[in-house]
Structure 1
Amino acid sequence: MDDNKDGFYANYDVKTNDNAISTKKIASKLKNKFHGSTALFFADCCTSGSIGNALSKQPAAFTWGMATSVNPEGSSTGNWTFSQALLDALNGHKFVDTNFDGVISFSDLQKYVTLEMKRIDNQVAGTNSGNGFSDASYALAKVSDPNEPIPRLVEVKWGGRWWKAKVLETKDNQAKIRWVQIGYDTAGDDEWHPFSEVRETSGAPFNGMAAATTRNDFKVGDSVEVLWKGDFYKAKILKAESGRFYIHYIDDDDSWDEWVDLSRMK
């Protein structure tokens, strides 16, 4: 952001006068030059969510939807998690289809991006829309494989450290995993690891739960079960924000209410 609180599509060595793209200028150009009916905005860089603010301040005739790696004032990870999530959506992966209707909508993408950025990079994604754009009805792709398993986010021990990865399948007390770190996140880098080297993101031991049992469609008001110290307890979702859920344990008082992520829910 500059001194006027205007945002930019900013790279790692950004200088606003030389190599940054002003989102205010983008919005102005589109307002005067764009003759289409709908525009979609995607960006994986610092302050990328500022395009939504700029478009809202300069109303135009077209409808628009936005999904970005970070909110208007935030810095963005160099892990390219957002770009991978966008590709997952455009390729029709089942795990992006948050309402399981067989279609990847813009709303599905926004929810999936929010979840991925929070749980992998602890970053708040940017989502916005304007002029009557229907997030839920705008289709990006059809689900390409209805039987595709939903990868389960875990941590895997390698080189003395725990790294985030996704379980693709399990067999004979081993998990086939794909790393989420840039440069190691392709099929050619997939590895098999024994369950002893895999744990839930909460730190709990990995029990070999099949990848396909992981859900990402929880919402406020749902009754769920939450993992705590090795056992599951009945709970209810009170709030949802950026891929995390504030829950109340049914058999306990309010002092036990807490924020949890998908790795502890079913």
Structure 2
Amino acid sequence: MSIHLAEWSPETTRVFVVGLLEWEDPEIWAPFPDAVPGRFDAKLVQFFKSQGVPESQIVYLQDSEATLEAIQESLVEFLEDSDEEELLILYFAGHGDWDSETNEYYFANYDAAEDYEGYWSVSSIIDDIEENFSGSHVLLMADCCYSGGLIDALKERDLSFAYACVTSAYSHNSSTGEWTFTEALMKGLQGDPVVDLDGDGWITLYDFARYAELEMAFIEEQKSMFLTLNDFDPQMQLAKVTKRGTPGGEKRVEVEYDGTWYKAKILEQKGNQARVFYIVDRSEEWVDSDRIRPYEPETFSKGKAVQVEFEEEWYPATVKRGWYGLHFVGYDGYDETWDEWVGSDRIQPA
């Protein structure tokens, strides 16, 4: 069964949100104080409430509420209350971790210490859903380091439900402390035309995933990931375009300022001038067109020998894929466990 907006109703949707910007031990898990004002995890919850999802079908654990015990007990109880044909949306924001020795992925609950046994494991999330959910479709989203571990874990399982997953980063990559990914999600859910990449008047899950991929690559130089399994329709309609604007018309460019070129978006054009939004400081300015050039990041070809920075050391590597200024690399002499996507500041010709 494929879910479309015409069939979707808030009454048959369950939303489980865990958002952390601070932890019990800040020396282990650094807090994100700059992300607290206008936090997008709270905005996401408020959006679903405004759409009519019953409060009994929403769980939101924020910061100190999100201990491992509270998360696990709440999730199981929440899933046990589900009914047939329901859609489960599970979202996490905070710190993520990856144990390279076991290839296990974790989300850092509020009381996470140094022992992986006290972390909220990605595998346990899937276990709990498979064992306790009675619905039909599951949408998983995460905005954190190593969030792509959700996708890797799903690929390894024999699953009972239709799953979709969108993450801010590849499974072997860290992520920034910004809200770029979740802000892209909110734009999609609210019907912003910039997310409507095919211009058909509807924002689908696929539209959002591709828009998030472009945003994360352009702004954060991270590779957002997307997967659907078991007939989860990637064209599931999230929202009808509700705002005026050019569908999919967001232009990502570079703008010259004081002799330096900065990433920016064109918000509006009038004659020979454009109103631009600078990524670096989120400021706006009207500029002449001769100060604008297309964003065309250098991209190395497949098989190119390069050097890649990892923990302040440079290692020989080979490009396996290049896209939009990002490169998927394999480290020479190391197995595929260490393959990752890297941004422009971490790669150079051999």
Q: Identify the TM-score tier after normalising by the shorter chain.
A: 0.5 to 0.7
TM-fit CA distance, 1:146: 5.7
Output the CA distance in 2 between the equivalents of 1:131 and 1:65. Answer: 9
Partner residue in 2 for 1:29: 128
- 1:34-183 residue pairs with structure 2 within 5 A? 34-136=133-235, 138-145=236-243, 147-148=245-246, 150-158=249-257, 161-181=260-280
Output the CA distance in 2 between the equivalents of 1:16 and 1:175. Answer: 52
Partner residue in 1 for 2:104: 6
Q: Secondary structure at the match of 1:129?
A: strand
TM-fit CA distance, 1:50: 1.0
Report sequence identity in percent.
33
Query: Which amino acid in 1 is paired with 2:171?
Result: P
Output the CA distance in 1 between the equivalents of 2:213 and 2:115. Answer: 27
For 1:78-131, what per-residue CA distance to the aligned partner results, in whole angstroms no more than 9, with x for missing partners?
A: 343322221221121222222222111111112222222223333221111222
Query: Which amino acid in 1 is paired with 2:288?
Result: P
Q: Secondary structure at the match of 1:101?
A: coil
Change (3 A) 1:14 1:45: farther
Q: Runs of 5+ in structure 2 lacking a partner?
A: 1-97, 298-320, 326-350
Q: Secondary structure at the match of 1:7?
A: strand
Query: Which amino acid in 2 is paired with 1:94?
Result: P
Q: Secondary structure at the match of 2:182?
A: helix
Equivalences, count: 201
CA contact (8 A) 1:10 1:45 kept: no
Q: Runs of 5+ in structure 1 lacking a partner?
A: 204-239, 245-266
For 1:127-147, what per-residue CA distance to the aligned partner results, in whole angstroms no more than 9, with x for missing partners?
A: 1122221112x1111111364
Root-mean-square deviation (Å):
3.0
CA contact (8 A) 1:7 1:73 kept: no
Instruction: Give the ranges of 4+ consecutive aligned residues of structure 1 lying more than 4 Å apart after TM superposition.
Output: 13-16, 240-244
Give TM-score scaled by structure 2 length. Answer: 0.51
Output the CA distance in 2 between the equivalents of 1:64 and 1:92. Answer: 23
- 1:201 and 2:295 matched: yes
